[in-house]
Every structure is written in C-alpha cells, then in structure tokens.
C-alpha cells in the first residue's frame, strides 16, 4: 500500500519543527542517561539500535523502528512477569 500526500500540503512546513523538537529531546535524554551511567540499560540499547533505521533509504523506517522494540518470539508466555509495559522487548538471559 502506498500513500500520496495531498497536492497542496507541504509536509516539511507542517512537521519539521515537531520532528526537530523530538530529536533534540531524544539527544538530551541520551545525554542524561549517559551521565547517570545507565547507557547499558536494555531499553537504551534498543533505542540506539532503532535510531540506526532513521537513515534507511526506503520509506519503511517506522516499521523497522517498531520491530526493534518488538518481541520476536512466536510462543505465548504462560504469565506476565510485570503489570506494566516496558516499551521494549527484553530477551531472557
């Protein structure tokens, strides 16, 4: 399936400042995490891995980023280990 933007909409004008803010916010978050000595947290590691997809040449970046955080296993687990979502899949060591 492909998407074609409306002819009279300039997407960069519409979304650039929001994207810029998010990128600066992400950089600041990573700076704080590094200063706190928490760069090896699995969620931060996956976040950095997901960021690599931002430079992909094909327009499937959102899917690739999402899949970086997703559980790749096929079998359901018998019971949840926590009551909340972590936002990233953590492989059992």
Give the Å distances, CA to CA, from 67 to 58, 60, 90, 93.
15, 11, 13, 20
Coil, strand or helix: which one is 12? Answer: helix
pTM: 0.79
Kindly indicate the confidence band of residue 24, based on its pLDDT and cuts at 50, 70 and 90: very high
Residue-wise pLDDT for 46-55, tens only, equals: 999 999 999 9
**Contact partners, residue 33, CB within 8 Å, separation at least 6:** 39, 41, 44
């Amino acid at each position: 399936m492909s998407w074609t933007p409306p002819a009279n909409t300039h997407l960069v004008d519409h979304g650039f400042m929001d994207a810029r803010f998010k990128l600066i916010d992400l950089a600041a978050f990573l700076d704080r995490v590094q200063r706190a000595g928490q760069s090896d947290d699995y969620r931060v590691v996956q976040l950095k891995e997901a960021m690599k997809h931002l430079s992909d040449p094909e327009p499937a970046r959102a899917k690739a980023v999402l899949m970086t955080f997703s559980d790749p296993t096929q079998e359901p687990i018998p019971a949840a280990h926590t009551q909340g979502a972590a936002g990233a899949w953590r492989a059992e060591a």
